[in-house]
């Protein structure tokens, strides 16, 4: 059974770019099982790519090969890299998109993708998803070892992921809205563990609104009302039961979120 090849890009679905990547993969490895993780990363938004990968990759089967092409520096000197962890392989430009992997995985090996024997030639200056990352993914899926594609690297670029400021003494957390999903849920960078020691009956301030206490399901409030809840990826989310919190609170990505459990 060949490995799954999981695609994560900022290419959108309006052009033939994603389709062409699949064509390249299948021409090399006809048995490839290709899965779309997302192609809706905001163009050039490496951080959004990293966060999307972070909360998803562990759900995929062992030996999945992730192709992560959010690549504002395509054609520059930034290196195409391959990171091998115990369970997975990751292909990406060396721009920080793999930060969650090196932060979360204990052991990994990094390789530079350099051996042009396995690339589509001439390699374009604008579409390494097609010319570098897709063919390498296909050959990996055929069983070639990572070392075949280039030399080991000692380190790769790390992004600073936005983390909240947790002040346990003053019982205050200051975080931010990190992502707004399709439903208008406001996903913050505050994790469940950050809330340890805080009362569930905290006050959450966002823009001009105060939300009191943590719910365990949407239906604990009336339809159309705002609530806070630990979402499926372990982050604190601000939601509206059967509605859009982004619309109701008129909030954008990056909005400040403040939690305090002084009261009571």
Contact positions vs a copy of itself (CB under 8 A): 1, 4, 6, 8, 11-20, 22-24, 26-27, 30-31, 33-40, 43-44, 52, 55-57, 59-62, 64, 72-76, 124-127, 130-131, 179, 181-184, 216-219, 229-232, 237, 242, 244
Q: Token pair for residue 61?
A: 């089967």
Q: Among positive and negative, which fits the CA dihedral 186, 190, 193, 199?
A: negative
C-beta of 213: minimal distance to a copy of itself in Å?
15
Min dist. Cβ of residue 111 to a copy of itself (A): 23
Considering beta carbons, is residue 77 or 106 the nearer one to a copy of itself? 77
Closest alpha carbon to 53 in 28, 77, 14, 85: 85
Least spacing, CB of residue 112 vs a copy of itself, in Å = 18
Residue 68 or residue 259: which is nearer to a copy of itself going by CB? 68
CB 122 to a copy of itself: min, Å: 11
CB of 201 vs a copy of itself, minimal distance in Å: 18
Nearer to a copy of itself, 35 or 174 (CB): 35
Which CB, 61 or 151, lies closer to a copy of itself? 61
- In the complex, the smallest distance separating the C-beta of residue 23 from a copy of itself, rounded to whole angstroms, is 4
**Which residue, 244 or 260, is less far from a copy of itself as judged by CB?**
244
* Nearer CB in complex with a copy of itself: 32/84: 32
């Amino acid at each position: 059974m060949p490995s799954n090849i999981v695609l994560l890009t900022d290419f959108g679905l309006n052009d033939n770019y994603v389709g062409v990547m699949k064509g390249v993969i299948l021409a090399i490895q006809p048995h490839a099982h290709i899965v779309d993780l997302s192609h809706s990363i905001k163009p050039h938004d490496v951080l959004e790519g990293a966060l999307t990968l972070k909360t998803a990759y562990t759900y995929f089967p062992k030996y999945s090969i992730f192709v992560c092409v959010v690549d504002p520096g395509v054609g520059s000197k930034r290196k195409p890299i391959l990171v091998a962890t115990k369970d997975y392989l990751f292909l990406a430009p060396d721009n920080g998109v793999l930060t969650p992997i090196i932060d979360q995985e204990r052991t990994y090996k990094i390789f530079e993708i350099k051996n042009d024997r396995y690339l589509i030639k001439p390699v374009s200056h604008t579409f390494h998803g097609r010319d570098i990352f897709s063919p390498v993914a296909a050959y990996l899926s055929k069983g070639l070892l990572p070392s075949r594609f280039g030399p080991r690297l000692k380190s790769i670029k790390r992004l600073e992921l936005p983390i909240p400021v947790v002040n346990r003494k003053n019982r205050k957390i200051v975080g931010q809205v990190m992502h707004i999903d399709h439903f208008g849920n406001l996903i913050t960078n505050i994790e469940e563990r950050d809330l340890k020691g805080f009362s569930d009956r905290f006050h959450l301030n966002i823009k001009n609104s105060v939300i009191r206490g943590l719910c365990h399901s949407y239906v604990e409030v009336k339809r159309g009302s705002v609530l806070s809840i630990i979402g499926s990826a372990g982050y604190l989310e601000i939601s509206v039961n059967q509605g859009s919190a982004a619309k109701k609170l008129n909030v954008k990505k990056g909005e400040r979120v403040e939690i305090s459990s002084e009261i009571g």
